[in-house]
Amino acid sequence: MFYFIFIGDMLVMLFMIVLVVWVFTSNSDEATDKVAKIPLEDEQHHG
């Protein structure tokens, strides 16, 4: 049972790592910067 949970956890972590790598390699630097600034701009407009 332990190995089943461990392997499942490793597969989820692998999926998340691949997703992050895919997102950062598929977008341009300008698009990534724009998306990263959304939380900061949201606080400025509502603060």
Per-residue pLDDT tens digits of the chain, which is 47 residues long = 999 999 999 999 999 999 989 887 887 778 878 888 888 777 666 65
pLDDT of residue 30: 84
pLDDT of residue 33: 82
pLDDT of residue 34: 84
Contact 19, 27 (CB under 8 A): no
